[in-house]
Amino acid sequence: MNSFANIVEEIKNIISADYSPRKVFDKDVAEVLGISQMNFATMKKRDKIPFNELLDFCAKKAISINWMLYGQSPESLVEATNKFYMIKYFGDVNASAGGGTDEQYEEIEEIEIPEHFVFMLGGERELKNIEAINVSGDSMEPTFSYNDIVFINRSKTDINRGGIFTIRTQSGLFIKRIQKRVDGKIDVLSDNSVYPTLTLDPQEIEVIGRVISRFGDVA
C-alpha cells in the first residue's frame, strides 16, 4: 500500500490545476480532504491514512481508490470485479423486526454476491458462516425494513459488546439490537422508538448470529 506521504503527492498532482499558477501545499490537500491542518500533519507523520475522507475525494474526482492506495489501474481489476460468490439464502425464513415469527425452512436457495462485497462480510474465510434471511416488520426501521434480506454470521454469537443479532425467544425469531446489562440480564431493543425495550434472562434467548449487512448494500 502507498504511504500517506505518497498519496498526498498524488492528490497535489490531481488538484494542481485548481491552484495554478502557485504551488500546492499540504494545507491545500488537508482542505480538500476536509481535515484540519493539525490532524493532517499528525496523520502524515504517523502514516495514518484517512480512508473515509480519501474515499469521498476519489468519488468526487471519479478516481479508483485502488489506484490511489495500490497503484492498480481499473483495467487490472476487471477480472476480480467479475467474480461472484454464492451465499446460502433461506427464502422462507422471516426474522421479525416486529411481531415475531418462527417459520421452519424447507428449501435452501443461494444469493449471488460480487467479490468486492465479500470483504464487508468478513472475507472469504467467513463465507461458510454467512447465511441470508428475510426481515419481517418495522421495529428495526430505519436500519432494516420489511422484506429486506440480511446477512447473518452464525459464528458470531458473543453479545457482550452488543450489536444487532438474530435471536430466538419463546415468541419467535427476531432481529433486534442487543445490550447486556450489568445485572446479567439482556435488553432487547428496537431502532423504531414506537416499540418498547424488552428485558430477558440470558436463558430465554438463543443467539443465532450477528447481523452484519443487508442485501441492498451489495450494489
Are 191 and 113 within one domain?
yes
Determine the Cα–Cα distance for residues 135 and 157; give it in Å rounded to an integer: 19
Dig out the grid coordinates for 122 from the structure.
Answer: 468478513
Determine the Cα–Cα distance for residues 85 and 166; give it in Å rounded to an integer: 23
Angle at 207 between CA 117 and CA 155, to 5 degrees: 45
The pLDDT of residue 118 is 82
Are 100 and 206 within one domain?
yes
Predicted confidence (pLDDT) per residue in 183-219, tens digit: 999 999 999 999 999 999 999 999 999 999 887 665 4
Are 104 and 202 within one domain?
yes
At residue 182 the predicted structure's pLDDT band, cuts being 50, 70 and 90, is very high
Pairing mode, strands 84-96 and 130-136 = parallel
Q: What domain count does the chain have?
A: 2
Closest CA to 211 of 131, 116, 138, 124: 131
- Boundary of a domain, candidates 78, 113, 143: 78
CA distances from 125 to 97, 118, 119, 129, 131 (A): 29, 10, 10, 8, 14
Residue with cell 493532517: 40
Least confident range of 8-22, 43-57, 102-116, 142-156: 102-116
180 with 159: CB under 8 angstroms?
yes
The pLDDT of residue 96 is 62
Mean pLDDT across 5-30? 90
Closest CA to 50 of 30, 76, 77, 73: 30
Determine the Cα–Cα distance for residues 76 and 84; give it in Å rounded to an integer: 17
CATH number at residue 15: 1.10.260
- Boundary of a domain, candidates 34, 63, 78: 78
Determine the Cα–Cα distance for residues 210 and 105; give it in Å rounded to an integer: 19
Determine the structural domain holding residue 51 and report its residue range: 4-78
- Boundary of a domain, candidates 38, 58, 78: 78
Are 62 and 97 within one domain?
no
Are 171 and 145 within one domain?
yes
Name the H helices within the chain.
Answer: 4-19, 26-33, 37-46, 51-61, 65-70, 78-81, 115-118
Q: Which residues of 160-187 are buried (b: 16+ CB within 10 A; e: fewer)?
A: eeeebbbbbbeebbbbbbbbeeeeeebe
